[in-house]
Structure 1
Amino acid sequence: MEILKGILLLLISLTAFSVFSLKAPNGQKAMGGLANAAVATFLVEALHRFISGGILGIKFLENLGEVVGGMGGVASGSLVLLALGVSPVYAVAVGVALSGMGILEGFIVGYSISFLIPVIEKYIPEGIDTIVGVVVLAPLGRFVAEAISPLVSVTLNNLGGMIIEASNQSPIFMGLVLGGLIKMVCTSPLSSMALTAILGLKGAPMGIASVACFGGAFANGITFYRMGYGDRNRTISMMLEPLTQAHIVTLNPVPIFTSSFAGGALAGLSAVFFGIVSDAPGTASPIPGLLTPFAFNPVMNVIPAMLLAMLGGIAGGYVVSSIFKAMEERKLVAKQA
């Protein structure tokens, strides 16, 4: 039951983010702001707090990473508002008022307040509107964040806890499913970094997610190359940061997402086999996924895990691309006949 609950709740959260992105007013722009907030905070934290500080021993960078990692609410509140076209002074005023809040609380506050700002600008005289807006929006944003924070924390802690428990009870199955799903999210317009940060994944599930994003990148690269979706530069960009090729992914979703799931699932198995764990939420992306595990695992576990994950991604991409290439060839032959 724990395994089923974990998978079901993960699918519900993915569906909710997808529906919001596609159906909510300016949903894709808001999700873009959330993704950028995850990069601006959790990526910096992962690389400097755990790698530069934890492994290399550079105390200044370790402290920097720790400080930046606690600014998720500030970053998401500000960047969501900026993505929605709000004046920078309003965005920063609301954002800094969310110090100490989580990235999801910042996202909710930023998106909600974006609908109030046009009203202020419409009914308050120009010049005065900026003063009134800053004075009103900062405490309002903080009030909303503190009001929703207990519910958000309980919900996400329960969800993250169920996924962790499911991974502990059935690591192989969760390696396949979680690795495949997280890599699909990594390839989609959603942000796998934001998702894993919001869920607060740690331990084995975060290890699976990190390794899956790295290994699955090779599945995407093989698929791009063999299916002719772009030149070498586009293929490399797809492997390093899938969001840069979102327009191509949108045009060819079935083969790309299928290869993402296959490569991510096989890479997830590699993480399980070598016992890779990670206590750095929000590092589910190819480059952080490669580097962060070194901070929490023996080097002689991480290196073979990454090599096997890479081979799994290549195998998944090759098999899936071969299937879709054969289907295209059959369609071409049928048309010619």
Structure 2
Amino acid sequence: MAVISGLGLLLVTLAAFSLFSMKAPKGSEAMSGMASAAVATFLVEAVHRYISGDLLGVSFLGEVGSTAGSLGGVAAAIMVPIMMGVNPVYAVVAGAALGGYGILPGFIAGYVVGFVAPLLEKYLPTGLDVIVGALCVAPLARGIAYISDPVVNAAMEHIGSMITAATDQSPALMGFMLGGLMKMICTSPLSSMALTAMLGLTGLPMGIACIACVGGAFTNGMIFKMLKLGDKSSTIAVMVEPLTQAHIVTKHPIPIYGSNFFGGGIAGIGASLLGIVCNAPGTASPIPGLIAPFAFNSPVKVILALAIGVAGGILAGYVGGHFFKKHYAESDAHMEG
């Protein structure tokens, strides 16, 4: 029941975020802003607080990481409106007012400001728009965060705890399912960095997500190379940041997502069996996922997990590439006939 509940809640969450990203006004832009906020805060925290600070003993960099990690809500409230096209002054005003709040309340406040700020700028007289607008946006943003914080955080923490409980009870199974799903999300327009940041995933589930994103990157590379999707630069780009090749991914979703699920799943099994943990939520992406686990595990375990993930990703890409290459050839022959 723990596994069923964990996977069920994860799938419901994915469906909700997917609908928001695809159907909500400027939903995709808002989710991109959330992902950028996760990079600016959680990735910096993971590297500088835990590696540069705790592991290497550089106290200054450790302080940099701790400070960045505490500003997730501020960063989200700034980046989300900016990605939605708002005047940066209003975005910074919203962010400055959200000190002390987490990334999800910051996301919600930033999304609302993304629609309110342009109206203030449109209807207020020139010269007063920035001053009066700033005085209105600041309390609005913090008020939204104050109201939404207990509800959304409780809901996301519950979902995150259920996923963690399911992973602890059935590590290999959840490693495969969670790793596969996270890599599919990593390649889709719905950012895995934004999702894991919202859920506040830590521990083994976050470790699985990190390693799966790295292993699945090689699945993407194999699929792009074997099916001749784009050119060489496209193959490199999809491995580093899949969203840069969204125009290709959306045209060939079945071979890419199907292979991704198995590539991420194999990597997830390796991470779960080795007990890779990561306490930096929001780092589920190829480059952050490669770096962050070193802050919380022995380097030997991380390197072994990455090796398993890369091997599994290449294997899944190779098998998927051959399977779908044959299918594509048959489809072309049928069309010519």
TM-score under structure 2 length normalisation: 0.97
Alignment of 1:13-92 (within 5 A): 13-92=13-92
Answer whether contact 1:215 1:309 (CA < 8 A) is retained.
yes
Moved more, 250-259 or 305-314: 250-259
Which residue in the other structure is 1:193 paired with?
A: 193
Answer whether contact 1:182 1:212 (CA < 8 A) is retained.
yes
Unaligned runs of 5+ in 2: none
> Displacement, 1:285?
1.1
Which residue in the other structure is 2:143 paired with?
A: 143
Q: Which amino acid aligns with 1:248?
A: I
Which residue in the other structure is 1:128 paired with?
A: 128
Distance (Å, rounded) in 2 between the aligned partners of 1:30 and 1:244: 17
Q: Over aligned residues, Cα RMSD in angstroms? A: 1.3
Partner deviation per Cα, 1:248-286 (whole Å, 9 max, x = no partner): 112211111111111000000110121211111111111
Q: Which amino acid aligns with 1:262?
A: F
> Displacement, 1:51?
2.0
Distance (Å, rounded) in 1 between the aligned partners of 2:33 and 2:202: 24
Unaligned runs of 5+ in 1: none
> Displacement, 1:25?
1.0
Answer whether contact 1:51 1:291 (CA < 8 A) is retained.
no
Which residue in the other structure is 1:228 paired with?
A: 228
> Displacement, 1:57?
2.0
Q: Which amino acid aligns with 2:294?
A: F
> Displacement, 1:53?
1.9
Partner deviation per Cα, 1:171-223 (whole Å, 9 max, x = no partner): 11100100000111111112111211111111111111111011111101100
Distance (Å, rounded) in 2 between the aligned partners of 1:324 and 1:172: 27
Answer whether contact 1:186 1:285 (CA < 8 A) is retained.
yes
Partner deviation per Cα, 1:90-140 (whole Å, 9 max, x = no partner): 111011101111111111111112222233233322211221111111011
> Displacement, 1:224?
0.7
Q: Which amino acid aligns with 1:263?
A: G
Answer whether contact 2:214 2:285 (CA < 8 A) is retained.
yes
- Secondary structure, in 3 states, of the residue corresponding to 1:267? helix
> Displacement, 1:55?
2.3
Which residue in the other structure is 2:155 paired with?
A: 155
Which residue in the other structure is 1:7 paired with?
A: 7
| Percent sequence identity over aligned pairs | 54
- Secondary structure, in 3 states, of the residue corresponding to 2:115? coil
Q: Which amino acid aligns with 1:28?
A: S
Q: Which amino acid aligns with 1:181?
A: L
Q: Which amino acid aligns with 2:193?
A: M
Which residue in the other structure is 1:168 paired with?
A: 168
- Secondary structure, in 3 states, of the residue corresponding to 2:134? helix
Alignment of 1:234-313 (within 5 A): 234-313=234-313
- Secondary structure, in 3 states, of the residue corresponding to 1:234? helix
Alignment coverage as a number of residue pairs: 337
- Secondary structure, in 3 states, of the residue corresponding to 2:250? helix
Answer whether contact 2:31 2:194 (CA < 8 A) is retained.
no
- Runs of 4+ aligned residues of structure 1 deviating over 3 Å after TM superposition are none
Q: Which amino acid aligns with 2:178?
A: L
- Secondary structure, in 3 states, of the residue corresponding to 1:116? helix
Distance (Å, rounded) in 2 between the aligned partners of 1:18 and 1:234: 25
Answer whether contact 2:214 2:289 (CA < 8 A) is retained.
yes
TM-score under structure 1 length normalisation: 0.97
